[in-house]
Amino acid sequence: MTFCIYTIGYGNRSISDFIQILKDNQIQVVVDVRSVPYSRYRPAFNSKALAKNLTDVGIGYMFKGNELGGMPKDTALQTNDLPDYDKIRKTISYQQGLYYLECGIELGFRIAVLCACLDHTECHRNKLIGVDMSRKGYEVYHINKNGDISQNERLF
């Protein structure tokens, strides 16, 4: 059996389009990995509103931005004022966040990791989480801006 995880960014999507894309891809749980789970321009994607919108349609929501966020508050995890993924990878909380994803996947949940960035190639959900999940042997699929799926190239 091949285990996989999905990633998605909401970008400038409406909440209804976002939910439809999740449904089209049979996503059961959204794991929010934004360091700050709020949007000034898209209030439907603020943590509480998003959780309600998703649970209303039968999709689970979990915030894991403290563990898996790409913009840590701890300045020791930055280099030249930018997040240092190598330093983040070595933290216990990040490893616990990955373990949470692994447990959910292995229990059979179809999980999508959520961030704001529409383009996964520019986002930590790909550059950090996607790389690490791929290294652990999981297939990583990205739901693109039009709802199509692209797959991470295998690292090993």
125 contacts 115 by C-beta, under 8 angstroms: yes
* DSSP β-bridge partners for residue 140: 5
The domains of the chain are located at 4-151
- What tokens appear for 78 in the block? 């930055």
Residue type, 126: N
**Cα–Cα–Cα angle for 108, 6, 96, nearest 5°?**
70
* DSSP β-bridge partners for residue 8: 114, 143
Task: Please give the chain's pLDDT, 156 residues, in tens.
Answer: 679 999 999 999 999 999 999 999 999 999 999 999 999 999 999 999 999 999 999 999 999 999 999 999 899 999 999 999 999 999 999 999 999 999 999 999 999 999 999 999 999 999 999 999 999 999 999 999 888 898 876 544
- Provide the CATH topology of domain 4-151: Cobalt-precorrin-4 Transmethylase; domain 1 (3.40.1010)
**DSSP symbols for 46-72:** SHHHHHHHHHHTT-EEEE-HHHH-SS-
**Predicted model pTM:** 0.94
